[in-house]
Structure formats: structure tokens, C-alpha cells
Amino acid sequence: MKKSVTVSVDAEKLTALEMYLGQKNLKLSDELEKFSEQLYQKYVPSNVREFIELTAAKKLPRKAKKDASTGFENQSEQ
């Protein structure tokens, strides 16, 4: 799950930043995401990052489809 963060920036500075990033074909949102990942790597202990990765990996396994007629999971025989 992703969450949003709101940051207040002076309007003129934001305009200038977006303009100069645009000249390099970069987007502010992409650069902020990269920077937030750097902060995460720097400040969150590695064992906590590993735990979060393992927890996320457990949520990804495929979900078995339920058979509409029986209500049970449909597992194909091989």
C-alpha cells in the first residue's frame, strides 16, 4: 500500500525546480520517490527492511480461484 506525503514549497522555487527538471526530461515526483527510497535505506535498519520485504512477499502469492458452483477453491490436477 502506498501513502502520500504533502510537502510545502515556495511556489517560485517549485516552478523553477519543475522547469529545470523538465529540461533534463525528469519529473519531480520521480525524483522525490528516489530520494524517499534513499532516506528509507539510510534510516530504516536493514533487519526491519528485510522483515518488510518478507511480509510483502507473503502477500503476493497467487490467490486460488473459487469454483462458483461449489464455493471451494479450484485446484487443477496435474
pLDDT (tens digit per residue) in 8-46: 999 999 999 999 999 999 999 999 999 999 999 999 999
- Give mean pLDDT, residues 35-59: 95
- Range 55-58 contact pairs with CB under 8 angstroms and sequence separation of 24 or more: none
Closest CA to 40 of 28, 29, 56, 52: 52
- HSE (CB half, 13 Å, CA atoms) of 44? 13
Q: Does residue 76 carry a pLDDT above 70? A: no
Domain boundaries, the chain: 27-59
Give the distance between the most distant pair of CA atoms in the chain: 64
| The three three-digit cell numbers of residue 71, written as one number | 464455493
Sign of the CA dihedral 48, 49, 50, 55? positive
